[in-house]
Amino acid sequence: MIMKGYRLLPLIVAVVPSICAAQFVRGWGVDGGVSGAYQLLSITQTGLASSAPRAARMGFTAGIFVEFLNIPGLSFVAEAAYTQKGRKVTAEEVAASAAETGYLSPGPAGASLRMDYVRLAMLVKVRAWRYGFVPYAALGPRFDFLVGKADDPGGLFRLARKTDVGVSVAAGIEIIPRRNPVLSLEARWSPAFTRVLSPPTLTVRNQTIEALLALWL
């Protein structure tokens, strides 16, 4: 009996991890897309949000993801990605900044101010069913780390913090022809909890809206 047990041991060592991996890891892949970045401003002295119109700064994002917990209807997604944030300066904002005492200039009208981040996120994902065109929703925290900045005529970005903490809320559709997904389309909104800029009289928070295409490998 003992000898038979030893003979079965290599088989157990080979098969059990594969079974566990099949249940624990649903899949992995790459994703990318376009992003519209805003920065929400509030004037510290008055506690009021800036009413000056702001335009989205268009950029892109690209990354890799791994999806865990392969059970019907529920999984967890770990993601690492490069993403662009920042803002586009409007003429109305420039005029409003000139009227506020101590309000730093945002730069010339039409300037596209870019901030580069590496994003780490962990999302809880809920799916409607198992095969075909499968709608899903996802929610979870994200931690973004500043890795670069573009030219900044107004000098605001020199005050930028190195981390940007927030949440991501997503909804999308997976294409699952049989057992495993092959493609997914997603819309994602990512507001920030922390201030990315804190000049003396101004508070700035990042916010992005993304359209993503994911390819499962």
Least confident of 34-38, 64-68, 152-156, 171-175: 152-156
Nearest to 22 by CA among 59, 81, 64, 68: 68
Q: What does the pLDDT look like over 126-158, one tens digit per residue?
A: 998 778 899 999 999 999 998 887 766 566 677
Q: What does the pLDDT look like over 83-137, one tens digit per residue?
A: 988 777 766 666 666 555 545 555 666 666 788 899 999 999 999 877 889 999 9
The model's pTM is 0.76
Full set of structural domains in the chain with CATH: 26-216 (2.40.160.20)
Confidence of residue 5 (pLDDT cuts 50, 70, 90): very low
